[in-house]
Amino acid sequence: MSIVFDPASQTFHLQAAGASYVMQIVRSKYIAHIHWGRKVRGTNPGGLLARRERCSFTPSTDPDDLSLSLDTLPQELPAYGGSDFRVPAYQVQLENGTTVSELIYESHRIYPGKPQLPGLPATYVEREDEADSLDIVLTDKLIGLKAVVTYTVFRHFNAVARSVRYINEGGGKLRLLRALSMSVDFPHPNFDMLHLSGSWARERHIERRPLTAGGATIESRRGASSHSLNPFVALLSKDADEDHGEAYGFSLVYSGSFLAQAEIDPYGTTRVVMGVNPFDFSWLLEPGESFQTPEAVLVYSGEGLGEMSRTYHKLYRTRLCRGEYRDRTRPVLVNNWEATYFNFNADKIEEIATAGQELGLELFVLDDGWFGKRDNDNCSLGDWFVDKNKLPQGLEDLAARVNRLGLQFGLWFEPEMVSPDSELYRAHPDWCLHVPGRRRTEARRQLILDYSRQDVRDYIVKVVSDILAGCPIRYVKWDMNRNMTEIGSALLAPDRQRETAHRYMLGLYEVLERITSAFPHILFESCSGGGGRFDPGMLYYMPQTWTSDNTDAVERLKIQYGTSIVYPVSTMGAHVSAVPNHQVHRTTPIEMRGHVAMSGNFGYELDLTKFTAEDKEAVRRQVAAYKQLRPLIQFGDFYRLLSPFEGNETGWMFVSEDRTEALVAFFQVLAKPNAPLSKLRLKGLDPGKDYRVLDVDGAAAEASVFGGDELMHIGLNLPQWKGDFRSRLYRLTAHEAE
């Protein structure tokens, strides 16, 4: 077992591939954190838990032992109100209005494998020997509250998954005001915090700042994980970079409003908590009822950010994503959105698809505008029947036309929304999130369906399933284009209205489970105005996400680089679009647009019929090259080489698991006059192998051979370019050094 309990020292030791997570039961009551970091043998870690008496403003729990204070004890599930003044992991309100509780150790259980979380997405194992799990049961007998804290340690990843189930075993009602998924205390404050921030069309930019007294909070109050902040933070040692130093990652498998907080207390310890945002949240627990928190995935790296990212990449790609497409390469597609917007008919779609077939594409995706009376974004969401004015022969005819060309057919939906101007809304005006007597705030002329309601969920599952069953659809883009306002449900009781947002997420997960399970042959891609819900919760149901509505090659360097901090390349949708770009109106060459988009799940989002002969030839080369390279790109190990947040150049690379093949991508945004000669140091290669290096586009006159050690420690000579927005892909193939 990779989890060991020592009865003598009352110590739990969780051992991952190269990391240890150690806890101790203190005074048979409290679960204290001792160590999370580099792997230790476990000789006597419990002997390293230090305590000391502080001043009277830090009250002691035991008058006979003034060194024991909950205000300084590094607890695994801390509460507020019983002498710990730091940020709590949970808070419960009693029927008498008070909010004091104290959960005490009762028992524990160690077992192989990993349990599923009812109604929630989570990482998983395919065999019991991949992981071991620990349930620690804590109880407050006075009020009848039980908490089961679950830890899973993966044997082949430096990762620990945590969650909590709160159960009311008493005779009265309890109200959870705060129910976070995890808490970890560190014995010092010497960290930088890294998180991912942005906005629509500017998602997941990297932010790094020193932690100072008081700490920092990252959160969403939007009812979605959001464009603004991603449900991820990392604490970094001061010397940490891509390849060196310690990195502690915290990622929440959840798609709604979240909280991640790092707090430094007066004694220089750091507490990190994460979970469902307690803002505007409460959950009533009747006797016998329980509440399950989402899962937090904690990853440790002693070799910098890069190793932390690659752990998340492989874990999420192989043990979070599911379904037939988890391990399959993804098709090269064309989407008609930026080509036609709402103005199309069957002949125009077939014309674009025909051009795509001639260029080697494999999938055509029909975007917004095919249903109801959808000639603009003012109407028809919820009316999931075909617009016969645009498609008089229906989707079946259009799909047949596309299939006859040898392309698969895909379709866009936005099933979580309803337009006030729609048949659905006129029939069921109470089916949206709303508060009686208040205005119903619209965004993009639409409201949000109340997925906390079973009747709404059943309706959506039926109408979407009818479309998918009636047509040979192989791909679905599932969109969501606004955040929550007036969060209330017509069916919930007054004392449960603050449960609405989380019940919505549970309802969404139910709908996604039902639909994706019924149509396993369909590749589902999630979208929320691009990357507004790029989170682990959605990846559990849909193995890829539209990374951003911004398809400008320069902006995508930052977006895709930042996304790679947590999320694998196989989850990133990336397309070539027309120029001037529709979001920033920049003109970049098709080579750079292609090279950036080829660093993800590749496709095009423009009118292929308007290409010049030169453009068509460039696209043919891109598509042919990508088809050869996509197993490496989508499933190889990803290394970041040069950051777009730090300079004019960006570099990254993909390396096969056996290190016999690699792909290097280099980008230069602006030209430099009389620039110095420079080299790009590669990573992840086998120093004992020689590698043949060839320009993917065939621009190199002949292949060159270099040692893996030379490429990593001396570096690859970079091109000297004139002109802005330049890029190059290098393919490396290895053979044993002579």
* 3-state SS assignment for residue 307: helix
* Residue 220 to residue 196: CA distance in whole angstroms: 12
In the block, tokens 């930026």 appear at: 338
Q: Which residues contact 361 (CB under 8 A, 6 or more apart)?
A: 332, 333, 334, 407, 603, 604, 623
In the block, tokens 């969501």 appear at: 480
Q: In the structure encoding, which two tokens stand for residue 266, read together?
A: 């007066």
Q: Which residues contact 368 (CB under 8 A, 6 or more apart)?
A: 337, 341, 342, 374, 377, 412, 414, 479
- Please confirm, yes or no, whether 84 is among the known catalytic residues: no
DSSP assignment letter at 449 = B
Which one is catalytic: 132, 140, 368, 549?
549
Which one is catalytic: 368, 479, 535, 697?
479
CB count within 10 Å of CB 430 equals 13
Give 147's strand partners: 138, 166
Strands 19-26, 30-38: parallel, antiparallel or unpaired by DSSP? antiparallel
Instruction: Tell me whether residue 126 is exposed, middle or buried, using C-beta atoms within 10 angstroms of its C-beta: 0 to 12, 13 to 18, 19 or more.
Output: exposed
State residue 705 phi and psi, 5-degree precision. -120, 130
**What phi-psi label fits residue 362: left (phi over 0), alpha (psi between -120 and 50 degrees) or beta?**
alpha
Distances 121 to 46, 124, 125, 149, 322 between C-alpha atoms, Å: 34, 9, 13, 17, 11
* 3-state SS assignment for residue 408: strand
Apex CA 470: angle with CA 465 and CA 473, to 5°? Answer: 80
* Residue 76 to residue 84: CA distance in whole angstroms: 12
Distances 239 to 210, 245, 395, 515, 676 between C-alpha atoms, Å: 12, 6, 57, 46, 28
- Please confirm, yes or no, whether 549 is among the known catalytic residues: yes
Over the range 207-222, which residues count as b (16 or more CB within 10 Å of their CB) and which as e? Answer: beeebeeebbebbbbb
Strands 544-546, 191-199: parallel, antiparallel or unpaired by DSSP? unpaired
What is the CA 29 to chain-centroid distance, rounded? 36
* Residue 327 to residue 71: CA distance in whole angstroms: 47
For the annotated catalytic residues, the residue numbers are: 479, 549
